[in-house]
Amino acid sequence: MKIKLVTGAIAGLTASAFAVAHAGSPADYFNKIDADANGTITQAEYVAYKTSGGKYSAEKASEKFAKLAGDDGELSLAEFEGAMKKAKSKDGKHKKDRTT
């Protein structure tokens, strides 16, 4: 019984530490992209962030932004969180690059 409890506790702590180190909150991720910290992400900010790692082309990043931002051309925190939640429910886990 004690072994199961200790094993469960270690697994839980390890998973929690991994999740915090790799995911952060949607708001934290949003704030990394919102370069001017005005509370919205513009297409320029989104494209700059997504292309900085070399994984996305400017064209691909622009297409993704257009899907996320809607008609106003800006991405709010609420829209961003909604997109992350939707992607998470599709996969059963969070995948940043599929969401944003």
pLDDT (tens digit per residue) in 3-22: 543 344 444 433 333 344 44
Q: Determine the structural domain holding residue 88 and report its residue range.
A: 25-99
pLDDT tens-digit profile of 30-47?
Answer: 999 999 999 999 999 999
Considering the domain boundaries, does residue 92 fall inside one? Answer: yes
Question: Does 13 reside within a domain?
Answer: no
Domain total of the chain = 1
88 is a domain residue: yes
Closest CA to 70 of 57, 82, 85, 56: 82
Of 100 and 43, more confident = 43
pTM of the predicted structure, to 2 decimals: 0.66
Query: Is 10 or 55 the better-scoring residue by pLDDT?
Result: 55
For position 62, which CATH number holds?
A: 1.10.238.10
Q: Is residue 35 part of a domain?
A: yes
On whether residue 37 sits in a domain, the answer given is yes
Is there a domain that residue 1 lies in?
no
Q: Which of the 8 DSSP states describes residue 54?
A: S
Nearest to 73 by CA among 27, 33, 42: 42
Q: Is 57 within the bounds of a domain?
A: yes
* Residue 95 located in a structural domain: yes
pLDDT, position 87: 86
Q: How far apart are alpha carbons 85 and 92 in whole angstroms? A: 10
pLDDT confidence bin for 89, thresholds 50/70/90: confident
**Averaged over 83-88, what is the pLDDT?**
89
H or E element, residue 78: helix 77-91
